[in-house]
Structure 1
């Protein structure tokens, strides 16, 4: 008999309802989360990988605390993913993590490690300077802005990149960059 999670992932498409339904299944079957995360980083099956990333994004939106025990694992595996749609979901998850992290003064249940922060900063700068779609770049900008409060050098580098690339990108990129630049000054 085929694994139920795998069956559900094979039925997932771009429709929000199917992604959300599968995310709710994972949220109600906690033993499936590690399996879902494993599927996210399947290099040999890009379709399974991006569908799993879509669902993981919805899991994170529904209940970010659910993925706390797996955050370091997720962060360390991000470079394995090269499908644009999967990267977009991982960038969004990373942004959600950074938002939560930036609001925490002290947290017993969740704290990004210094290594996690360094890796996220590296990925975000990579996403920002590579040829990715605006959504990925927008998530990266927001993460870098949030993490610049802990790593002061990030602020100056982010400012330089946004100013250099401003005229070469779409109106959507320019709007987000303008917003971030205002917050940096």
Structure 2
């Protein structure tokens, strides 16, 4: 036989310094500040309702949802950073490729200052063929996604440009070096 205390005000086991009314069977919602100096009988603890298993399920669900949200946040930050770095790498490859083309054209003018601008075309494998007055040629490898845009000028000044994989135009100007642009041809794609 279980002994339960009679109805009355008892120290609240969940909130120190307060009193809660025990109706003889269960705790009620009625609370009151505990008297400062009076001795208070301790009431039995509130009965367990079996919410422990449900609480564990909610805790596990909260951890899973929180983890998924954290992964989503990491992806939201990391993916744009990765894509920006990839774009920068593609642009750097295009800049290096146009500089190499500029050097190849300048080499032809050093060999024969009276020559015209060499013929340029991009082969099916992506390499650019530089043909000097039909006498000799040089092949300049292009990175994937970099395409020849065009060239203009002659031995006193020339400009050649390529397009990066992202579509940005990079030019080599004999007077100013490598920069963003399309040698004044068409729309500036930068």
Larger radius of gyration: 2
Range class of TM-score, shorter chain: under 0.3
What's the TM-score, normalizing by structure 1? 0.22
Q: Which has the higher contact order (CA 8 A, sep 6+)?
A: 1
What's the TM-score, normalizing by structure 2? 0.21
